[in-house]
Structure formats: structure tokens, C-alpha cells
Amino acid sequence: MAAADPGGVFASLPALVQHRADERGDRLAFVGAQRRWTYRELDEDASRIARGLAAAGVVAGDTIACLTKHGAECVLLLLGANKLGAALAPLNWRLG
């Protein structure tokens, strides 16, 4: 179960998504340009990304830069990085 205080404030965005996945996993959580995610799918994909980042050597406290158009990929990378305790620094793709 995700960490929350009695007032319902969650320790992190991934903790909120995990809580929603546990509570109402089959409900629609996020709509991207090409796909829709339920809370369960969003949590599972973020966990998969977190495992991949960890395998690449990312640890808590690291900052990951991301040069992409803002969209589903950026949201998933944000959640995955945050699950590890890392931060995401999205860069404006127009500057690339």
C-alpha cells in the first residue's frame, strides 16, 4: 500500500498512482496520443521503467535529462524516475 498520511497526502506522485492502482486499477488514469492507461497499467509501466533505469545505474538522488516532445513518454519516465527517488529534467525538444 502506498504511503499516505491520515489526511490523504501522498509522499510522491508514484505513491498516489500505486494507491489508485490498488484501489481502482481498472479505471482510466491517463490518455496519451496513441494509447490509454488504466491506473494498474500506468503503475506497471512506471515500475518497468524504474527497473530499466536502475539497471542502467540510476539511483536515488540522480537527475535524468530527457530530450523529447512532451507526451506519454515523458510522463512515464517521470513516474519511473520518481519511483527510484531520481528527478527528471525534461528539456525543450525545440532547443535540440
Express each pLDDT in 61-84 by its tens digit: 999 998 877 788 888 999 999 999
Top pLDDT among 51 and 1 is at: 51
Residue 44 scores a pLDDT above 80:
yes
**Cβ pair 10, 19 in contact under 8 A:** yes
pLDDT for position 82:
94
Q: Can you tell me which residue has the cell 535540440? A: 96
What is the 8-class DSSP label of residue 69?
-
Give the C-alpha separation, 36 to 49, whole Å: 17
pLDDT tier at 3, thresholds 50, 70, 90: low
Strands 63-68 and 36-38: unpaired
The pTM score is: 0.82
pLDDT for position 26:
95
pLDDT for position 1:
43
Top pLDDT among 26 and 1 is at: 26
**Cβ pair 36, 26 in contact under 8 A:** no
Residue from 79, 72, 71, 74 nearest 12 by CA: 79
